[in-house]
Structures are given as C-alpha cells and as structure tokens.
C-alpha cells in the first residue's frame, strides 16, 4: 500500500477523487479537478482552488510511468 500524504506536502500528485496537484505546471494547472470515466481514465480537467480540494489522502508522483 502506498503512503498517503496531506495536500500541503504534495509537489506533484493526485487524489483518488479526481484531483491533481502539479506545482511545476502553469498557474492555471496547479490544481485541477478531473472527471474519471467508468474505465478509469482521467478526462476533462478543470482548474480548481486549493481550499476546495481534499486535504488528506494524496499520493505523490514517483516519476515512474
């Protein structure tokens, strides 16, 4: 089981509810909310604010595809 983190500890990562943090992206793409299809694909990203995101349960990007 992968370790989960707080949103404040994430540089690049995701939350299983369809949220993504990428502080290396352009400012409009730092915090995004995605739709997750029945097949598990992440589509249709929309910018969101940090305070509207879950604060616990995040996974860090490991750099492995």
Confidence at residue 54, expressed as pLDDT on a 0 to 100 scale: 98
The reply to whether 60 falls in a domain is no
Confidence at residue 37, expressed as pLDDT on a 0 to 100 scale: 97
The reply to whether 63 falls in a domain is no
Give the chain's domain count: 1
Confidence at residue 1, expressed as pLDDT on a 0 to 100 scale: 65
Task: pLDDT tens for the chain, 65 residues: list them.
Answer: 689 999 999 999 999 999 999 999 999 899 999 999 999 999 999 999 999 999 999 999 977 55
The reply to whether 24 falls in a domain is yes
Confidence at residue 2, expressed as pLDDT on a 0 to 100 scale: 81
Ordered DSSP codes for the chain: -PPPB-GGG-SEEEETTTEEEETTS-GGGSEEEEEE-TTS-EEEEEE--GGGS-SS-BEE--S--
Can you give the residue range of the structural domain that contains 12? 7-54
């Amino acid at each position: 089981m992968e370790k989960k983190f707080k949103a404040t500890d994430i540089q690049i990562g995701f939350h299983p509810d369809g949220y993504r943090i990428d502080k290396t992206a352009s400012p409009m793409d730092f915090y995004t909310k995605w739709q997750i299809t029945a097949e598990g694909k992440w589509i249709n990203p929309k910018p969101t604010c940090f305070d509207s995101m879950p604060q616990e349960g995040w996974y860090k990007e490991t750099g492995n595809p």
